[in-house]
Amino acid sequence: MRIILRLLVALVLGQFAAAGPVAALPPDEARHLLTRAGFGAEAAQAAALAPLGREAAVDRVLAATRTTPSVPSPAFLSGTWPNYRDMYALPQEQRDLFNQARRAELQELKTWWLVEMIATPAPLTERMTLFWHNHFVSAFEATGQNVHRMWNQNDLFRRESTGNFATLLRAILADPVMLRYLDASTNRKGRPNENLARELLELFTLGEGHYAETDIKEIARALTGLGVDRETHWDFRFYPSQHDTGPKTFLGKTGQDAADVVRVLLEHPRTAQYIAEKLWREFVSPQPDPAEVARIAAVLRGATYDLKPALRALFLSDAFWDRRNRGSLIKAPVVLIAGLHRELGLPLVDPGALAVHARRLGQDLFEPPNVKGWPGGETWITPASLVARNDVLGRLLDNRGLVAAPLPTGTEGLAIRVAGEAWQGPPRMRVTINDGTLLAERDIDFAVDTSRFGRIPDRNEWAWRVLRLPVDQPVKRVVIQFVNDGAAPPPRDGGPRGDRNLFIDWIEVAGRVYPATRATQRLNNPVCRPTRSGDLHCNGDLTFDLASLDGTADGAADANAGSMAGMMGSGMAMGGGPGRPALPPRKVNADAAAWIATLPGAWQRRDDRWRALMPIAPVSAAAATDDEAGLRALILDPAYQLM
C-alpha cells in the first residue's frame, strides 16, 4: 500500500514538473515587446514584465490601453471656436492672419501629440492611434484650416485604437476631415465622385486587386449624400436630396447606402486579412506569413472585428518572438523621437521642437505626403536622412545638460529659446536684467552657417535651443541684445551674401512664458526694416517688461505654452494656465550614469548596454572608457534605428 501511495505521489509531482512553472521573460524579450508595442522600453516597465511569461506580459500590455489621452489637450480646444464658416468671406489680409493663427494651433496640436507619446502610460494606445492615422489617411489641408476637426479625428483614432474596427470604419465615413479630403461633398446623385469609394476599397479594407472598377462606381453611388455642413463648422451631414436611391450591386452583393457598404465590406473575408497584413507589417516583419495572417484574420472576424483578440494573437505568435525578425523594422521618425525620450528618460526641454524634428525626418503629423500616407520601411533611411536622424538624436541628448544641475536655493531660472544664422562666425547674445545687470554674454555656437547651407526661410526649421541661466534676484525686466551683426559686403568671389542673425522665440521666468512677439524690439541699424519681434536681423535689442506683460491678457503665454519650468524638469504641464492638471512626474536622467543605474544588472556592464536599446548587436564598436561617450556612440549607431 505504501509503495502504491509513493507511486501516486510521484506521478502527480511528475505531471506538475512536466507542466513546469511559467518561464519568466528574459530582459531582451521584455524590451522587444515594449519596443514593438510602444515607443521604446523603459527600464522600470521592463522590470515589471520580467517575472511574467509571454502570455501574461502581452495581456498586461493590452490591459493598459486607454481611450483618452493622459496629457491635457491644448487650451485652444476648450475655447470658443474661430469663425471657420465665414473665413472665405474675409478680406485677404484678415484671411492670411486667420490662417496663420490656425497653423500655429496645428503646430501646438502636433507638439501635444508627441508629448503624449512620450508621457503616456499606455504606449500601445498611441502606437495604434498613429497606425490608424496612417491607415485612414487624411490631412490638415482638407479641413479648411479647421484644427478642431483634425483633433476630433485624432480623438476618434484614440478611442478605437484597440477597440473595434467595424466601429472605426463606420465612423470614418461620417468624419468631416475624411469626407472633405476625399471630395465627398462633390459626390452627388447623377454626378458621383469616386475618390472616397476608391480609397475605401484600395487603402481601407480590401487592398489592390480585390475589386473591380464597377465596384468602385457602384459604391460611389451608394455613398452619395454624405457631406459636411459649413453652417455648423463642418459637422457631418447627410443630404437626402443628393443621395442616389437606385439599387446598387457591388462585390457580388446588393446594397443601398453607406451602412450597406460597410456591412458588405465587413462580411468580405479579404477585409480582415488586409488589416491582419498591415498589423503584421507594423509589429512583426515587412513580409507577412500567409498562414499566420490567415489565422489572425480568423481571430479578428471571430471577434466581430474587436482588435484586442487579434493583437493578442499577433503578439503571441512565434514569429513575433523569433530572433530572426529582430531588427527587421525601421523606426518611423516619431517612434524614434518618442522612444529616445522614454528609453533614456530625456527631459522635455523644448516640446515645440519635437514636431519640427519629426518633420525634418520626413514625418509631419497631420500632414502626410499623399492619400497613401507614409510608406515607411526602408524609405525612412537614406544617406541624407541618416545624417539628419543622428543630428536630431544628438540635439535631444544635449538637452540633458540644461537640467543636469538644480538651481541654487533662492534663485530663479531664466530660460531663453533662441536660434541663429551664422556667417563668418556665430551671432552673439548679451542678456541683462532689471537695471542693466549683466547676466550672460555668449556666442550662439549652434547657429546655422549660412555660408555653407544657405538661408533657412522657415523659422520652424531653425536650430532652436533653450538656454537656461541662473538668476540671484527677482526678475522684473529682461533685455536681450544682438551685438555683432556682420553687415558685411558681398563675398569677393561673387557667391551668395551671408550675414549673422539672432532669433528669440520666448523667455521663461518663474514658470511663466513670455513670447517675443509681445516684447518691444529696437533695431540700431537704420537700414534694417522692422520685422517680427524676436527676429533680430541687425544689431538691436528685445525688451521684456514683465510687470507690463503680466498685466495684459495675452502677455504671458502660459495658456498656450504651459509651464516650461515643469516640462524642463521631471514634471510636465501641457496646456498650461491656472487649474490645468499636471502629469505625474517623469523620471529624468541627467547623464549616462543615471540611465545605467536603471538597467538590469546584467546590462550595466559596458559591453552589454546595447541590449537595453537595440534588437541586434551594434554595427560599430561602441566600447568606450567614458560612459557618456559610450552611450552617445550607441544612440548614433545605425542599429539604434531598428526595432
Domain count, the chain: 4
Residues 278 and 311 in one domain: yes
pLDDT band at 144 (very low <50, low <70, confident <90, very high): confident
Query: Is the residue at 273 inside a domain?
Result: yes
Question: Which position has the higher pLDDT, 316 or 474?
Answer: 316
Q: Flag whether 613 is in a domain.
A: yes
Cα 103 from Cα 359, distance rounded (Å): 14
Q: What is the mean pLDDT of residues 418-437?
A: 91
- Percent of the chain at pLDDT > 90 equals 61
* Grid cell 462585390 in the structure block, residue: 251
Higher pLDDT residue, 268 or 446? 268
**Shared domain check, 415 and 532:** yes
- Decide if 334 is inside a domain: no
Beta-strand relationship, 428-433 and 248-250: unpaired
Q: Mean pLDDT across the stretch 622-632? A: 82
Task: Give dist(CA 429, CA 492) in Å, integer.
Answer: 28
* pLDDT > 70? residue 27: yes
pLDDT band, residue 348 (cuts 50/70/90): confident
Whether 560 and 596 map to the same domain: the answer is: no
**Does 45 score more than 80 pLDDT?**
yes
List, as one string, the DSSP characters of 477-506: EEEEEE-----PPPPTT-------EEEEEE
Q: Write out the DSSP string of 143-183.
A: TTS-HHHHHHHHHHHHHTTTSBHHHHHHHHTT-HHHHHHTT
Residues 414, 511, single domain; the answer is yes
Is residue 297 domain-shared with residue 428, that is, in the same domain? no
Q: What does the alpha-carbon distance between residue 535 and residue 505 come to, in Å, rounded to a whole number?
A: 8
pLDDT bracket for residue 465 (50, 70, 90) = confident
Please tell me whether residues 322 and 414 are part of one structural domain.
no
Which of the 8 DSSP states describes residue 167? Answer: H
Contact 634, 640 (CB under 8 A): yes
Contact criterion met (CB below 8 Å) for 428 and 421: no
Q: Which of 591, 488, 583 is closest to 539 using CA atoms?
A: 488
Is the model's pLDDT at 245 over the cut of 80?
yes
Asked whether residue 596 falls in the same domain as residue 536, the answer is no
- pLDDT band, residue 583 (cuts 50/70/90): low
Q: Of 208-222, 273-287, 500-514, where does mean pLDDT reach its minimum?
A: 500-514
Is it the case that residue 582 has pLDDT exceeding 50?
no
What's the pLDDT at 402? 67
Residue 171 resides in a domain: no
CATH number at residue 427: 2.60.60.40
pLDDT of residue 564: 32
Instruction: Decide if pLDDT at 387 tops 80.
Output: yes
Residue 128 confidence (pLDDT) = 98
Question: Which amino acid appears at position 168 of this protein?
Answer: L
Q: How confident is the model at residue 389 (pLDDT cuts 50, 70, 90)?
A: very high
CA 567 to chain centre: 16
Q: What is the mean pLDDT of residues 322-338?
A: 97
Distance CA 325, CA 643 (A): 9
If pLDDT is split at 50, 70 and 90, which confidence band does 13 have? very low
**Is the pLDDT assigned to residue 508 strictly greater than 90?**
no
Share of the chain above pLDDT 70, in %: 85
Report the pLDDT value the prediction gives residue 462, as an integer from 0 to 100.
Answer: 74
- Give the distance from CA 167 to its chain's centroid: 24
Identify the residue with better confidence: 487 or 565. Answer: 487
Residue 404 Rama label (left phi>0; alpha psi -120 to 50; beta): alpha
pLDDT above 90 for 399: no
Predicted local confidence at residue 49, as pLDDT:
92
* pLDDT score, position 89: 85
Residues found in the chain: 643
Same domain, yes or no, for 630 and 598?
A: yes
Residue 108 lies in a domain: no
Residue 135 lies in a domain: no
Between 280 and 423, the more confident residue is 280
Is 248 exposed, middle or buried (CB count within 10 Å of its CB: 0-12, 13-18, 19+)?
Answer: buried
Q: What is the dihedral of CA 63, 67, 71, 74, to 10 degrees?
A: 170
How far apart, in whole angstroms, are the C-alpha atoms of residue 401 and residue 404?
5
Mean pLDDT of 181-207: 96
Position with higher pLDDT, 492 vs 154? 154
Cβ 161 vs Cβ 68: under 8 Å: no
Same domain, yes or no, for 563 and 613? no
Q: Is 559 found in the same domain as 410?
A: yes
Residue numbers of the domain that contains 422: 405-568
Q: In whole numbers, what is the pLDDT of the chain averaged over residues?
A: 86
- What pLDDT was estimated at residue 86? 84
Tens of pLDDT along 516-534? 988 999 988 777 777 788 8
Whether residue 475 is found in the same domain as residue 601: no
What is the DSSP secondary-structure string of 39-91?
Answer: SS--HHHHHHHTTS-HHHHHHHHHHT--SS-SSPPPGGGGSPPP--TTGGGS-
Q: Where is mean pLDDT largest: 102-111, 162-171, 423-432?
A: 162-171
Query: Does the pLDDT of residue 47 top 50, yes or no?
Result: yes
Bridge-based pairing of strands 448-449 and 412-422 is parallel
- 152 pLDDT band, cuts 50/70/90, is very high
> Can you give the pTM of this predicted structure?
0.84
Q: Which of 49, 64, 88 is the last residue of a domain?
A: 49
Closest to 38 (Cα-Cα) out of 152, 159, 115, 130:
130
**What confidence tier does 497 reach under pLDDT thresholds 50, 70, 90?**
low
- SS3 letters for 359-394? HHCCCCCCCCCCCCCCCCHHHHCCHHHHHHHHHHHH
Domain boundary among 327, 353, 388: 327
Q: Which residues pair with 643 in a beta bridge?
A: none
User: Does the structure show a pLDDT above 90 at 342?
Assistant: yes
pLDDT, average across residues 265-276: 98
Q: Is residue 117 part of a domain?
A: no
Q: Are residues 498 and 612 in the same domain?
A: no
Question: Coil, helix or strand for 549?
Answer: helix
Cell, residue 125: 494606445
pLDDT the model gives residue 466: 82
Tens of pLDDT along 547-571?
888 875 444 443 333 333 333 332 3
Section 104-132 average pLDDT: 96
Greater confidence, 517 or 125?
125
In this prediction, residue 10 carries a pLDDT of 38
Among 318, 329, 324, smallest CA distance to 282 is for 329
Per-residue pLDDT, averaged over 62-80, amounts to: 94
Answer whether residue 79 is part of any domain: no
Question: How confident is residue 62, by pLDDT bands cut at 50, 70 and 90?
Answer: very high
